[in-house]
Amino acid sequence: MTIRQSAVAGMFYPDNPREIRAFLDHHMAAATAPVDACAVVVPHAGWIYSGQLAAQVLARVRVPDTVVIIGPNHTGLGSAISIFPPGLWRTPVGDIPVSPHARTLAARLGLTCDTAAHQREHSLEVLLPMLHYRNPSLQIIAITVAGGSPEDARELAHTLEAEFQGEDVLLLASSDMNHFESQAVSDRKNALAMERIAALDSPGLLEVVNRHRISMCGAFPVAVALENALLRGASHASLVGYTDSAAVSGDHDSVVGYAGYILA
């Protein structure tokens, strides 16, 4: 059995189960009944920076037994689209199984499952304790992507729809917003990207990210989520929150932005 060990526990989020539980007990108390959603957009920085917003997003949606989680490939390892094989992801709060759908989805895409891209990647791992908290019976399909065109996003979205048609699945796109520019510049750039997300405009999102050089690491995963959500009947993108690293660091000259959405 393929087991993916925790790579960033103790760095991006606590490695102590009691500390994890305390954080999630505090930040995931839903103010309203969780809603059914096609997809969510969730940030993936260290919990000290974006964990509260990520928790707020996931507290507001019903987390089914199967979650497809797509994030960027920060390490450059592995294939351009990397699907982790059936097995387990080990976290401080327990092992999370990978759905057998992983292998059949890879086959639909003409790929073989790949572990290299996942070994040191944080964009999926940091969200797993939150998903597990919301549904301990969770199984995942873990995908990292290195980017692509609007046509690539549409193809992956349609392939996901074909694989899971009729099943109760949540798609999670893991992304931070613009990186390491001033707060004023980042706010301006992020507003352009967020306008396209609100419009459920996948090609438009990728176009403004490229044209305005917005360093939104998960733009392609978000584009896939937008396309797939439309296929599944989504009609709006609800903004849960927007913040940046300056809220914690106090450094307004070099910030990373974070936005959270529910697509339903």
Domains present along the chain, CATH in parentheses? 2-246 (3.40.830.10)
Task: Give the side-chain half-sphere CA count within 13 A for 212.
Answer: 22
Alpha-carbon distance of 102 to 83, in angstroms, equals 6
* Beta strand 66-72 pairing with 169-174: parallel
DSSP tally for the chain: helices H, then strands E: 9, 11
> What local confidence, expressed as pLDDT, does residue 30 receive?
67
Residue 89 has which token pair? Answer: 């992801």
Residue 176 burial by CB count (10 A; 0-12/13-18/19+): exposed, middle or buried? buried
Cα-Cα-Cα-Cα torsion 255, 244, 230, 111, nearest 10 degrees, comes to: 50
44-85 pLDDT per residue, tens:
999 999 999 999 999 999 999 999 999 999 999 999 999 999
- Around Cβ 204, how many Cβ atoms within 10 Å? 18
Average pLDDT over residues 99-117: 96
Alpha-carbon distance of 103 to 141, in angstroms, equals 9
Alpha-carbon distance of 151 to 40, in angstroms, equals 21
Average pLDDT over residues 215-223: 98
